[in-house]
Structure 1
Amino acid sequence: MGIFSRTRDIIAANFTDLLDKAEDPSKMIRMIILEMEETLVEVRASAARTIADQKEMRRHISKLNTLQESWTEKAELALSKDREDLAKAALVERQKAADMADQLSAEIGVLDDALRASEEDIAKLQNKLREARTRQNTIVTRLESANNRFKLRDMYAGPKIQDAFSRFEVMERRVDFAEGRADALSLGAPKSLDEEIAELKSAEKVDADLAALKARMGKDG
């Protein structure tokens, strides 16, 4: 019955209070689930042994019933031969067998009560185990989600990103400086034919834009 009492203690346990007192709730949940699973195995094994004991007792009761019939026949035979002393002795043996059978029947009744109690405990413990596993999965999922959010926020708003962009600015300044040096090399150098023609085209476009602007303004006036 110690296992059954332990089962009821687990069933009656307030998981919320346990988790509030735990330094590591996730570890506490794993320990609770492990204890539930181990207790469930022990209770089922105990119930299996009880059922086996009942079967053995019933077989013994059947043998005792057969023995009672045998002693009854012997008592009848003794009486038919006018041996009342033997008939009485046979009836005494029959009573012993009947008493033993009654005792075994009473023990079976006690075991039946224990089995019914353990069956209820197993059902309740299974429900608690499902509840604990569901809460464990929920906590694990929430924890993973929170860690992922932290990583993402640390990635786009944390010091690593700020440091990376600071390095980008340093690199851009270096590029600007390199481009400036390249442009400086061309200062004062004679223009190429392509450059002069490009400037003419640019000047023509500016003149055309100016004439169009004047014409529009004159028309509006």
Structure 2
Amino acid sequence: MSIFSRMADIINSNLNAMLDKAEDPQKMIRLIIQEMEETLVEVRSSSARVIADKKTAERRLERVQAELGDWEAKAKLAISKGREDLARAALAEKQAIAEEITAVEQELSALDDHLAHLNDEISQLQQKLNDAKAKQKAMLMRVKTVSSRLKVKRQVHREALDDAFSKFEHFERRMDHLEGQVDAMDLGRDGKQGLATEIEDLVNDEKVNDELARLKAEMSGKDAGKDGDGKA
């Protein structure tokens, strides 16, 4: 593909349609911008060569125009000297120079048209490039904005989850505390300890009963003595 057909394809292309069809619009826009920049460099290089050709043609035109005047003067000189043959030869050279001038002028006109076309194409391509860069900038801003929003949403969700976990852990600690209070109330009340206490109570009851019987016996003995003394 020549530089000019590629440039025409780029200028006539619809950037939005290309980006819509692309799987990776960011990658596509980078490639488009790279292609445009490379094409611009090539077109400007071609323009520089055309400008150089134009300068060369302009110098050539000046030279042959000067030669045209010289052959005109030579023909007049030959006529004044009675040398019609030389005058004819000088006029023939002048005619050839005139034809060359016409060719150079046509060449310059074509070069001017080519330069004008290149200038127009460069302007359009530059505008396309500016549009592409603007789209790239807008795309990067959208990516940055979306990334920031996603980061914020993730942070908010994370904070919500952290808060929920914190509340759940706080509830668990409260339940542990309540269960601890209940367990503390049952300390010392296990089965073995209760059995030992009951047996000890029985022993104590037996001692009390023995002491009670002793006191009753003593009291009964005293009452009997009093009755005997009274009888005597």
User: Shared fold by TM > 0.5?
Assistant: yes
Which of these two proteins has the greater Rg computed from alpha carbons?
Answer: 2
Deviation at 1:174, TM superposition (A): 5.9
- Letter of the 1:6 partner, please give it: R
TM superposition outliers: structure 1 runs of 4+ over 6 Å: 178-181
1:4–1:121 contact (8 Å) kept in structure 2: no
Deviation at 1:156, TM superposition (A): 2.2
Q: Deviations along 1:117-171, whole A, 9 cap, x unmatched?
A: 122112222221121111111111111111111122122225x863685377448
What is the count of residue pairs matched by the alignment?
186
Structure 2 Cα separation of the partners of residues 56 and 148 of structure 1: 59
Greater Cα offset, 101-110 or 91-100: 91-100
Unaligned runs of 5+ residues in structure 1 are 186-221
Structure 2 Cα separation of the partners of residues 168 and 105 of structure 1: 91
Deviation at 1:179, TM superposition (A): 11
- Match of 2:62, SS state, is helix
For 1:113, the equivalent position in structure 2 comes to 113
For 1:20, the equivalent position in structure 2 comes to 20
Structure 2 Cα separation of the partners of residues 87 and 178 of structure 1: 131
Instruction: Give the aligned CA root-mean-square deviation in angstroms.
Output: 3.1
Deviation at 1:60, TM superposition (A): 0.6
Structure 1 Cα separation of the partners of residues 117 and 35 of structure 2: 20
Q: Deviations along 1:162-194, whole A, 9 cap, x unmatched?
A: 36853774488569868998xx99xxxxxxxxx
Deviation at 1:5, TM superposition (A): 3.4
Structure 2 Cα separation of the partners of residues 175 and 51 of structure 1: 89
Structure 2 Cα separation of the partners of residues 145 and 175 of structure 1: 43
Unaligned runs of 5+ residues in structure 2 are 185-232
The alignment-based identity, stated in percent, is: 41
1:4–1:118 contact (8 Å) kept in structure 2: no
User: TM (normalized to structure 1)?
Assistant: 0.71
Structure 2 Cα separation of the partners of residues 101 and 36 of structure 1: 39
1:22–1:28 contact (8 Å) kept in structure 2: yes
